[in-house]
Structures are given as structure tokens and as C-alpha cells.
Amino acid sequence: MNLKKNIKVGLISIALLITSISLGNSNTNLEGSYTEIKILNKISSKNTSLELENNKEIAFDDLLIKSIKCKNSEFDDDPEIIAYIQVIDQSITNNNEVFVFNGWMFSSSPSINPFDHPVYDIWLTSCY
């Protein structure tokens, strides 16, 4: 189990390093003020788009969602959108963890750092 976790952490670190190098070399402002996400309710099969203003929390059902930062890649042929997102599930009262998700999301590879929730699925769609 630890080996899988170490591999996952290593892959995330490599992806963040590559992304920060490619984003850091750009002369244009690739950072956005708004992050757009889609939320799928796995029980009802309803799909909802949300626009998150960075550093402002939005309530969606039992979730509190906050986007801290989002960036677009400088490459037009293979666009990548990354965002640092925090999610709190207010229905969980006996858990010591504050966030059910706290980390970077990648639009092209959501499985690198997946949002794991029994009811909802969240994925990143744009940054502007």
C-alpha cells in the first residue's frame, strides 16, 4: 500500500515540477481569476457547472468548494489547465480531516490527483 502511495506522490511531484517549469518560463499572464468546474452527482446523474472566483468559497449541496489558484498552459496544441482546489464535506461530522480534497487538479489527467467522494465527482474544465 505504501509503495502505491509513494508512486502516486512521486508522479504528482513530477507533474507539478514539469507544469511549474513550463508555466514559469512564460512571459504572458497565464493565471486566471475564475475556475470553472463540473460536478457530477453519481446518485441522480445530474451534471452541474460551477464558476468559482479564486479565494472565495461556494456551497454546493453538502460541499464547500474553494479554488485558490488556476493556470493555463502556454501550449495551444496540448492545453493543460491546473487549479488548486479545496473541498469540505459538511455532512461528515465525525471525521478529523477538514478537507475531503485539498490539492492540485489537472484537466487533462484527473487521475493524477483524483477527487474521491461517494456521491460527487468533480473535474476541472477551464480557467479564465
Cell numbers representing residue 102 in the block: 485539498
Three-class SS state of 40 = strand
Q: How far apart are CA 31 and CA 82, in angstroms?
A: 10
Q: What is the pLDDT of residue 74?
A: 77
Residues 123/107, Cβ–Cβ less than 8 Å: yes
pLDDT of residue 48: 97
pLDDT of residue 34: 96
What the block records as the C-alpha cell of 52 is 468559482
Tell me how far apart the alpha carbons of residues 40 and 62 are, in angstroms, rounded to a whole number: 13
pLDDT tens string, the chain, 128 residues long: the values are 544 555 554 555 555 545 554 444 444 558 999 999 999 999 999 999 999 999 999 999 999 999 999 999 877 667 789 999 999 999 887 766 788 999 999 998 888 888 989 999 999 999 99
Q: What is the DSSP letter of 29?
A: -
Domain count, the chain: 1
Domain encompassing residue 14? 2-127
Contact 77, 62 (CB under 8 A): no
* Helix (H/G/I), strand (E/B), else coil: 18: helix
